[in-house]
Amino acid sequence: MAVLEILKYPHPLLKKRCEKVDRIDGEVKKLIRDMTETMYQANGIGLAACQVGVSRRVIVVDVSPIDQEKDFFAIINPEVISEEGEIEHEEGCLSVPDCSEKLKRKEKVLVRGFSAAGKEIEIPAEGILAIALQHEIDHINGVLILDRISRLKRELYRNKLKKERRKKEDG
């Protein structure tokens, strides 16, 4: 297993829709192991393959630090097949450092995909698990939390990044 580099905004791969996984082979299983180690190392509760430079529809999620009832899982080719309600929650992102915003998400979702063993699975989720699933599925669809906030807040974040870059260059 290896800890991979987490891509940071504005890396172009973060804005691309990821490719469907056609075959769950050793390469995909290794990716899941590496993503898992990377997520834990970064103290995250979810990670999408594109965040580590791989344009595949694979996510890992473990919300147990917040909800002890839930366990770790990986899901391949996840898709939301039903949703209901609405919830507002503070979200951050490993690929968008120092950006924490209140976002509206669906309160409950049902997600379908495949396990690393190749079995079709359905995950009914609510609360933090539903939020994490929607966040990671956004990633594999090329959507960042910056795309879900106001234009003004997005511009403020971009300006902050520019200022930090200039500081490093001058530095």
Model pLDDT for residues 52-85, shown as the tens digit of each residue: 999 999 999 999 999 999 999 999 999 999 999 9
* Beta-bridge partners for 89: 103
- Per the structure, how many domains does the chain have? 1
Residue-number span of the structural domain to which 124 is assigned: 12-170
Give me the torsion for CA of 58, 63, 68, 69, rounded to 10°: -50
113 within domain boundaries: yes
Q: What phi and psi values does residue 159 have, to the nearest 5 degrees?
A: -65, -40
Those residues whose C-beta lies under 8 Å from the C-beta of residue 10, and which sit 6 or more positions away, are 161
Amino acid at 168: K
Q: Which amino acids are annotated catalytic?
A: 136
CB 61 within 8 A of CB 67: no
Q: Residue 102 is part of a domain; what is its CATH number?
A: 3.90.45.10
What is the number of residues in the chain?
A: 171
- 171 has a pLDDT exceeding 80: no
* Amino acid 61: pLDDT: 98
pTM for this predicted structure: 0.95
* Amino acid 136: pLDDT: 98
Q: 135-158, pLDDT tens digit by residue? A: 999 999 999 999 999 999 999 999
- 1 has a pLDDT exceeding 90: no
6 within domain boundaries: no
155 within domain boundaries: yes
Task: Work out the percent of the chain whose per-residue pLDDT is above 90.
Answer: 94
* Amino acid 168: pLDDT: 85
